[in-house]
Copies of this chain bind each other. A is one copy, B any other.
């Protein structure tokens, strides 16, 4: 039992000899030693994809949704389709190796591999989670930042990879530094034509009266795995749910707003661009209890 574990997947090359099929599909290695070539296109070009999956009580949360999105990202990047049975087995094996803890997460990564090699690189890494209790209750201060793209860029310019979860995340890290400079904790991206999109690592949810809403896919944003569960919870309370575009002003005027993600779960937005946003403490507590309970 370890506090973090790493499994490297045995990826077939394009011209794999038939007997390669007999090789173990993945192997555990020491995560504290180097495993990657500096020539790997994941490292030199951010040319790969990933998923981060929450684990509670030894169970991977929304596993099939994550695997489906992983395969979708691979398709957008024209990477070899991941064998989801192998990835699922590696994820479950990694969780089993991990010392049981209250909350953990598993990351899956698939890169295009070493240039010219024709063999992708894949790994599964699992470790324990920081404690997010405080942000889940007290909420976060958020700033809106221009993402530079129009809201329809996913359909007009698919080569921009909007909507794929790629390793090219330098911008998603830069906006968090900008948020810190503005004395905030997180970011909501806004399209160049003024629509609310998503957070750098989260989906935006907002409530207007008895309607729980999210901008929805097709806007160059990710199909949120946690968002789907938030809608299930809202519907169980008799609220309606839907996909609706919003401006930052509409988000600020909502009856409540959250950034939701696999590991941090639902963080209520308590401030947007320096202005207070209503926090619904009771709904938030119930929602996070529901999301945590899904792991049991």
Contact = CB atoms under 8 A, between A and B. Distances in A.
B36 A174 contact: no
Nearest to A78: B177
A39 interface: yes
Contacts of A33: 37
Nearest to A32: B37
Contact of A39 (B125, B160, B169, B171): B125
Question: Taking the full assembly, how many copies of this chain does it contain?
Answer: 2
B34 A37 contact: yes
Contacts of A50: 44
A196 interface: no
A38 B171 contact: no
- Listed residue (A123, A167, A178) with the most chain B CB atoms within 10 angstroms of its CB: A167
A65 interface: no
Given A31-B39, A35-B37, A38-B123, 14 more contacts: A32-B37, A36-B38, A38-B125, A42-B43, A44-B169, A46-B46, A46-B168, A145-B157, A146-B160, A148-B149, A149-B149, A150-B192, A159-B177, A168-B170
